[in-house]
A and B are shown apart, each in its own frame.
Chain A
Amino acid sequence: MNADVPVLELRGITKRFPNVVANESVDLDLRRGEIHALLGENGAGKSTLMNIVYGLYAPDEGEVLVRGKPVRIDSPRAAIELGIGMVHQHFMLIPVMTVAENIVLATEPTRGGVLLDTGAAARRVEELSRTFSFAIDPNTRVHDITVGQQQRVEILKALYRNADILILDEPTAVLTPQEAQELFAILGTLRREGISIIFISHKLNEVLEIADRVTVLRRGKKIETLRREGATEASLARLMVGREVLLRVDKQPAVPGEPLLKVDGLRVLDDRGLEAVKGVSFEVKAGEMVGIAGVDGNGQSELIDALTGLRRSAGGTVHLGDRPLQTASVRTILDSGVGHIPEDRHLRGLVLDFSLAENLALHEYRDPPDSRFGWLFPRSLVARARRLLKEFDVRGGEPQTLASSLSGGNQQKVVIAREVSRDPSVLIAAQPTRGLDVGAIEFVHRRLVEQRDAGKGVLLLSLEIEEILSLSDRVLVMYEGELVAELPPDVPEEELGIAMAGGGRQEEAA
């Protein structure tokens, strides 16, 4: 095969949905053995474009060429036959079946045409797994392996079906930073073996780390395809958003006032009854932002739950001003001036089947003017929503729109609008930018700093080292349920990383 012919080429692809053009004459070429990043904000049309390649949508205009030949891909089956594999954000695995069984699904090797040849299946999976140095045991059940491993199973599934073009839809969205590194190592191996990869992402740093070339989409149009060399986060962000984006937060030094939130010796149990937070003490002062850094699962979630009343504490005290809150109900805590941007906006932050007006009233529906004597006044809810949606620049929604139909960034704006508009004295923000693109992240960061500057105490929990360092005035490091270090925000990332891995403690525990 001629090495110069792109393995996959898209010419002038246009896809219209009612009232929206998702892709507008997009060109793209994928070379053999390259990792090609498809970069764009949420809603830029990345997934639509790749769903066309995978046969899930038919394009309205344009053509798809595979290895130089025009093809018509009208189903995923056709895509698979052409050697195209896709790994979706949400895995399509059957948890009770083994890795090997999942991989051979639909193309099972059989004995005598009926009996599943599990041995052969496992052997072939093991062989593949060795070729590409995946560390995976074909005989474990999928529900027993980590998310990162499940993703590898999905990749193996595509390779098992002889895919040499692999499409990964935001593969790192579900991974921890370590797992993401492991994924990048695997992608490197695949590239050396001649597999061509399209990598959908909205994260600039990982695109720069892994991709050979980058194609930027904005509002359905291709903006540019550029080589990784010479590209910077700032230049990519500008292409993606269409304006200059502040990647670093612009803020003045903090002017801390008196302590607002005082936590003393707080202990919290996790769902299994084990001590997840082991006697934590700290303060958040007025006009300061305190960051809690840590690797996921070191007790941060339990700490936030206890501070907000969602989980009972097992000991210690929490004070807001002079008011003890360690045994208070969620409502009491909210009413006494705590705002809470929860870690998971789908699980907690929003009632997705509620309208935006109803969601924005989640804390205040009980009080006038929203209601009197148990009687609800929807007009008041709608009026508030109209005001807040405008003030917080929520796009794509009217007060009556269901929360589920907004994009992730706009959903998060709704949550932030609700929490900030209550004018809390302490704002607890847990992973406030998770899954958001650069434009939305900038918005969230600016709002958090605004709150700090308005004299509120802000407690920020994030798994992103960069976010913690750029926003916080003080950084607390949480490791295995304890606060192991307090660092200034100008500490080098490596040092913070070491502290997060438990290196700050004077003991040999790993």
Chain B
Amino acid sequence: MEEGAIPSVAARLALYQRAGGVITPLLTVLFAFFVGGLVVLVTTGKNPLHTYQAIFNGTGLNWFFPWVTCSDPCTPATNLQYTLLLATPLMLTGLAVAFAFRCGLFNIGGQGQYLVGAVAAVMIGSSFADLSRWSHVALAVVVAAFAGAAWAGIAGFLKATVGAHEVITTIMLNWIAIWIATYLFEIGGPLQDPKQTGVPISETVAESAKLPVFWGDPLFQGLHVGLFIALGALVSYWIVLNRTTVGYEVRAVGFNPEAARYGGISVARSYVLAMAISGLFAGLAGAVDVLGWEYRLGVLDIQISQVGFIGIAVALLGRNTAVGVFFSAILFGALLNGTSTRNLDPEVFRPELASSLTLIIQGLVVLLVGADVLVIYLWQARRKLGLGRKRASVTT
């Protein structure tokens, strides 16, 4: 547009982008909840607000508002611990998707990288039992992170060398990871727990490799220090992108690979690096889950785990920013927990339907985030209508 030549307009545009960056995801979520509410209303005839209130209470987020609902202060705390427990790996898998996005790559392989990290963590965690506590934890975490990085790096390498599309290769690598992990821990598998030969499960992580629980019941789903690993990862994500030459290259390639190449940046190297760093985050997610509260991997868990896939929604909703990923990971963690059967009163909403409600809301969020152009358009159209003018669909 011609008007771009004036500084204040440019500044205004930048501001608008930033504002739009917060407003659109918020509108997206609100709209998803609204549609979800309609579904509740139509299918059960119950007041959706009551359902949402029950879900909200189930998330433990009411812990922050003790003066509103405080029949039993213990329950919100336990619920909140579990919400954060679920949100922690989502922050990391969200970052795994977001980082690749910033390099122009769509990493669908968070699930596989998460699993590879989890397998590595369980392998290291259940051996080397004579190591001291912190060195054992550190070793397991580092190996898991590098395993995830290597796994994702394969896709980056294939993209850089033969141009294989990362969407295809990461999906394939997901399945390879799932079936390798299944093979390792199934009954008779090479790493199946020899103490329980009838159960398809790994050995349990040694005490020395467990992440300490700092809030809640240390023996049952208390909140472990993995949360701080995730928070550290969020900070590192921002620093790497904005304060290192690698981040500069990754962003340049993500915005315009031709210009990056012209500027002397090795696009191929950036692809490999970006995928590897993505995988590093996903591998960390696997490590914190295994070392923090699961302590072992079962074949069933491997098959049904969704942590890596939800990470895609987390990154999309969080607009690939550190702050955005933090909040959307909490949102998805809360949704998962709030609609889990143990937290919903059957009187309010049938618990077996509740998790489907989560999926509906989750699906709508992904769908709408993809369509945020539409949201922006509607937003502008509303403003135009406010001025009493019509705007044609033809743009210049």
Q: A residues engaging B (CB < 8 A)?
A: 17-20, 22, 42-48, 51, 55-56, 58, 74-77, 88, 92, 308, 310, 329-331, 334-335, 340, 342, 347-354, 358, 361-363, 365-366, 371, 374-376, 378, 395-398, 400-402, 404-407, 410
Contacts and interface: CB of A to CB of B under 8 A. Distances in A.
Contact of A362 (B11, B263, B391): B263
Question: Which of B8, B261, B390, B394: most chain A Cβ within 10 A?
Answer: B394
A350 B14 CA distance: 18
A398 B47 CA distance: 52
B394 A92 contact: yes
Contact of B4 (A334, A398, A406): A406
Contacts of B264: 329-331, 334-335, 362-363
A44 B4 CA distance: 11
Contact of B245 (A19, A374, A400): A374
Interface string B371-396: 00000000000000000011110111
A190 B256 CA distance: 42
Nearest to B252: A351
B10 interface: yes
Interface in B230-245: 242-245
B68 interface: no
Contacts of A347: 256, 258-259
B9 A401 contact: no
B6 interface: yes
A376 B262 contact: no
A351 B256 contact: yes
Given A75-B392, A330-B262, A362-B252, A17 B3 contact: yes
A353 B260 CA distance: 12
B64 to A, nearest CB: 35
Contact of A354 (B8, B244, B252, B394): B252
Contacts of A335: 264
A351 B7 contact: no
Given A20-B3, A349-B262, A362-B263, A401 B256 contact: no
B255 A353 contact: yes
B312 to A, nearest CB: 22
A43 B5 contact: yes
Contacts of B6: 19-20, 396
A352 B256 contact: yes
A75 B118 CA distance: 58
Contacts of A77: 392
A18 B12 contact: yes
B392 A19 contact: no
Interface string B170-206: 0000000000000000000000000000000000000
B243 A18 contact: no
A56 B248 CA distance: 39
Contacts of B243: 375-376, 378
B5 A19 contact: no
B159 interface: no
B188 to A, nearest CB: 48
Contact of A348 (B11, B247, B259, B266): B259
A401 B394 contact: no
B289 to A, nearest CB: 31
A221 B13 CA distance: 24
A376 B242 CA distance: 8
29 contacts: A17-B3, A19-B6, A20-B8, A43-B2, A43-B3, A44-B2, A75-B392, A76-B394, A92-B394, A329-B264, A335-B264, A347-B258, A348-B259, A351-B255, A352-B255, A353-B256, A358-B248, A362-B262, A362-B264, A365-B245, A366-B245, A371-B244, A376-B242, A376-B245, A396-B10, A398-B10, A404-B4, A405-B4, A406-B4
Nearest to A309: B264
Contact of A378 (B242, B255, B389): B242
A140 B251 CA distance: 41
Given A330-B261, A351-B255, A376-B244, 19 more contacts: A55-B392, A77-B392, A92-B394, A310-B262, A330-B263, A331-B266, A340-B262, A347-B256, A348-B258, A348-B259, A348-B262, A350-B259, A351-B252, A358-B252, A361-B248, A365-B245, A374-B245, A376-B247, A396-B5
Contacts of A74: 389-390
Contacts of A310: 261-262
Q: Top 4 A-B pairs ranked by shortest CB distance?
A: A331-B264, A362-B263, A405-B10, A19-B8
Contacts of B142: none
A398 B260 contact: no
B255 A375 contact: no
Contacts of B262: 308, 310, 330, 340, 342, 348-349, 362
B246 interface: yes
Contacts of B245: 365-366, 371, 374-376
Contacts of A398: 7, 10-11
A70 B2 CA distance: 28
Contacts of B248: 358, 361, 365, 376
Question: Which of A310, A378, A407: most chain B Cβ within 10 A?
Answer: A407
Given A374-B246, A376-B247, A58 B389 contact: yes
Contact of B392 (A20, A56, A340, A400): A56
B136 to A, nearest CB: 30
Interface string B218-240: 00000000000000000000000
Contacts of A376: 242-245, 247-248
Contacts of B261: 310, 330, 348
A395 B255 contact: no
A76 B390 CA distance: 11
Given A42-B2, A42-B5, A348-B259, A375 B244 contact: yes
Interface string B340-376: 0000000000000000000000000000000000000
Question: Which of B13, B242, B262: most chain A Cβ within 10 A?
Answer: B262
A357 to B, nearest CB: 11
A17 B389 contact: no
Nearest to B262: A348
Nearest to A344: B258
Given A334-B264, A376-B244, A19 B2 contact: no
B192 to A, nearest CB: 43
A410 B246 CA distance: 28
A480 to B, nearest CB: 26
A410 B14 contact: no
Contacts of A329: 264, 266
Nearest to A371: B245
Contacts of A365: 245, 248
A334 B389 CA distance: 52
Contacts of B3: 17, 20, 22, 43, 48
Contacts of A330: 261-264
A406 B252 contact: no
A19 B259 contact: no
Nearest to A88: B396
A47 B2 CA distance: 8
Given A56-B396, A77-B392, A363-B263, A402 B10 contact: yes
